[in-house]
Amino acid sequence: MPELPEVETIRRTLAKHLPGRKIEEVEIRLPKLVSPEPERFQALLRGQSFSSFERRGKLLMIHLQGLVLLVHFRLTGQLIYAPQPQEEPPYTHLVFQLDQGRLFYADLRQFGWLELIPEAALASHPFLRRLGPEPLELPFEDFYRLLQRRRRLKALLLDQEVIAGLGNIYVDETLFRAGLHPERQAHTLSEAEARKLWQVIQDVLQEAIRTRGSSVRNYVDGEGVEGTFQEQHLVYNKRQAPCPKCGQPIAYAKIAGRGTYFCPRCQR
């Protein structure tokens, strides 16, 4: 968390408010979160104005004048714009003082990071170069080719170098809806099974974006508002609850190093 739908929602909410806003000062309370070093980070941002906002996988890219601020939220990062004076969010580690309002970066677990780079270096950035294709822009033929690997489905779909943006929530939800066991070998899927999975991924991500993401821990969008897609979760975080299809208790296991929810009857 946040995954593709959450980061896309943050991007859209910030893009409504921040283009043209000027950064007057940056307060850094946890230096390990920023790159380059704090003094350089502050000096480069001081006087800059927000231009546009992009997303790549789970990464938010904030364009300035000749610079790009990369923000990776990891587990618990939040980026919240407050146009009017208000109490700052808990665990706030950076405060961007703007010509109108403030932008807070908060992070309970402190695993996120913010990196400021020249715009010309964006295409060659090591993190971005390793990312796989966007799932919402991936043709079925290319998706089917990606599945021709001797790896378990869950591990493959979580791998950001294979497909960028899917995380634990949406992999569990899509595999359940597609009727596929998370430990199934990807290369054993028939073309029909692969096409169903591809379509379910499209549908689930689009619906999650429409409902502003899943707030299952501390995720909020760029306005500090929770998402509602967690109300449509069928298996994620529902251990021992009855399967909505067959009534069998939802199982839980560690698969690909992640806590995994699935129906042992519907996902054989």
**Is 264 a known active-site residue?**
no
> What integer pLDDT is reported at residue 1 of this predicted model?
78
**What pLDDT digit, counting tens, does each position of 85-98 carry?**
889 999 999 999 99
- Among candidate residues 2, 38, 89, 182, the one labeled active-site is 2
Q: Is the pTM of this model over 0.85?
A: yes
Whole-number Cα distances in Å, 81 to 17, 104, 149: 8, 6, 42
- Among candidate residues 3, 6, 8, 173, the one labeled active-site is 3
Could you tell me the two tokens for 263?
Answer: 């129906």
**What is the chain's pLDDT, residue by residue, as a tens digit (268 residues)?**
799 999 999 999 999 999 999 999 999 999 999 999 999 999 999 999 999 999 999 999 999 999 999 999 999 999 999 999 889 999 999 999 999 999 999 999 999 999 999 999 999 999 999 999 999 999 999 999 999 999 999 999 999 999 999 999 999 999 999 999 999 999 999 999 999 999 999 999 999 999 999 999 899 999 999 999 999 999 999 999 999 999 999 999 999 999 999 999 999 9
**What pLDDT digit, counting tens, does each position of 3-52 carry?**
999 999 999 999 999 999 999 999 999 999 999 999 999 999 999 999 99
Query: Out of 3.20.80.10, 3.20.190.10, 3.30.365.10, 3.30.930.10, which CATH number does the structure's domain 4-130 have?
Result: 3.20.190.10
**Is 258 a known active-site residue?**
yes
- Among candidate residues 55, 58, 102, 212, the one labeled active-site is 58
Task: Judge contact between 112 and 60, C-beta under 8 A.
Answer: no
How is 199-243 classified by DSSP, letter by letter?
HHHHHHHHHHHHTT---SSS---TTS----GGGG-SSTT-TTSBP
> What integer pLDDT is reported at residue 217 of this predicted model?
85
Task: Write the CATH number of the domain with boundaries 135-262.
Answer: 1.10.8.50
Q: Burial letters for 140-162: b for 16+ Cβ neighbours within 10 Å, e otherwise?
A: eeebbebbeeeebbbbbbbbbeb
Strands 59-63 and 67-72: antiparallel
Chain centre distance of CA 91: 20
What residue segments make up the domains of the chain, in order of their start?
4-130, 135-262
**Is 139 a known active-site residue?**
no
